[in-house]
Every structure is written in structure tokens, then in C-alpha cells.
Chains A and B, each alone.
Chain A
Amino acid sequence: EVQLVESGGDLVQPGGSLRLACAASGFTLSSYWMHWVRQAPGKGLVWVSRINSDGSTINYADSVKGRFTISRDNAKNTLYLQMNSLRAEDTAVYYCVRARSAAFEYWGQGALVTVSS
């Protein structure tokens, strides 16, 4: 069974940093593109970033470029999102997602990041 389990969500002050992790099981992480998608409270879905199977291709939404870094450790079956210079507007549930045919096939349960003083 495919499982994605996010961790690392927390309350952080504006300007602070946080690292999310996504532990993958039930499949070989190294075979898949992976994404982060976020959802602010009561709002819609927003794509954040993607990384290809070996980490050689990475893309970001303009809203997080230069502040967030996506990475992966295939040996540990784990995806990461390092978030720096956090802003109030980054407050959201962050989902780790496995892609298939450019669709988001499997989603984690989400990690809540709250940016507030």
C-alpha cells in the first residue's frame, strides 16, 4: 500500500524556518516525480514545487522561489521541503504528493504550517 506521511509542521514566527519531511512507503521513491502542494485554511489548492526522480530537475512556484528548497533522499525514501524566510501567507497545510502522468496520484495526510507572531 502506498503511504506518504508528512512531519515537521509547526507554529513558527515570521522570518523563521522549518523543514518538512515526507516518508514514503509501499513503493520505490526513486522511480517517481514528487511534488509539494499547499492549501491555506478554507482556500483552494496551490502547487508549490516538484523534483524529478534523481533530483536533477527542480521547479518552484514564483511565490516560494528563493525561499523554499525541495530535496529528496531516495536511500531513505524521504522527500523534504526546507522553508526559509517564512511569511504569514505561507500558512497552510502542506501535502506531499506522488505524481503519475502529470496528475497528483497519491497524497499524504498533510502537515500544518502556521506562520504567526
Chain B
Amino acid sequence: DIQMTQSPSSVSASVGDRVTITCRASQGISTWLAWYQQKPGKAPKLLIYVASTLQSGVPSRFSGSGSGTDFTLTISSLQPEDFATYYCQQANSLPYTFGQGTKLEIK
């Protein structure tokens, strides 16, 4: 199975800050990577797919990059509604696997 490792596991930031979350795959996955946002008690929401394609309706302050084993999710200017947990997920091979999550908290 491909292991997905996110860092950091948690981060505190303020509204207006730029935040970057990284995701590393245990083997190369080309650009078969997606990012999700999850708020407490809610289903995850797709933000980015194939590493850098913004899902329809997602604000442009979210961006993704990377290929192979190293990927990043960047939020350019944090808004109050962005405080949530973020997951990466590889779709290169079965079983599809997720990172352990990064909790983004208000400083």
C-alpha cells in the first residue's frame, strides 16, 4: 500500500496568513493526488484533484502543486471559513489511501 504522510499534523494561523501543507507519498504517484477539506460533523469536500486542478466552486486562494512523491496545498490568505482539517489522498493505485490529516486552527 502507498503511505501518505502529511505535515504538519496541526498548525495555528491567523486570518490573512499564507499556509502551506505538505503531503509525501511512499512511492511515486505521478499527479494522482487530491486534497479535501473537512469540518466537524460534515463530509469531506473536494478542493483539488490531479494535484493542481481546482474543483469547481472552490475559491482561488486554494492551490495545489507537486508530482511524483511530494505535494503541497497552499491557502494564500486564510479566511475564517478555512479553519478545518485537510486530507490528501492518492489515486495512483489501490487501495486508495489518505494522509492522516492536518488540523488548521485559529491562532
Chain A residues within 8 Å of B, Cβ to Cβ: 35, 44-47, 50, 59, 61-62, 95, 100-110
Contact = CB atoms under 8 A, between A and B. Distances in A.
Given A45-B44, A110-B43, A104 B101 contact: no
Nearest to A105: B46
Interface residues of B, number: 23
B25 interface: no
Contacts, number: 58
A45 B89 contact: yes
Contacts of A101: 49-50, 53, 91
B87 A104 contact: no
Nearest to A49: B95
B101 A44 contact: yes
A110 B45 CA distance: 13
Interface string B71-104: 0000000000000000101010011111111000
Given A44-B98, A101-B50, A107 B87 contact: no
Nearest to A100: B49
Given A35-B96, A102-B50, A105-B49, 14 more contacts: A44-B100, A45-B38, A45-B89, A50-B94, A62-B95, A101-B49, A103-B49, A103-B55, A103-B89, A104-B89, A105-B46, A107-B43, A109-B43, A110-B43
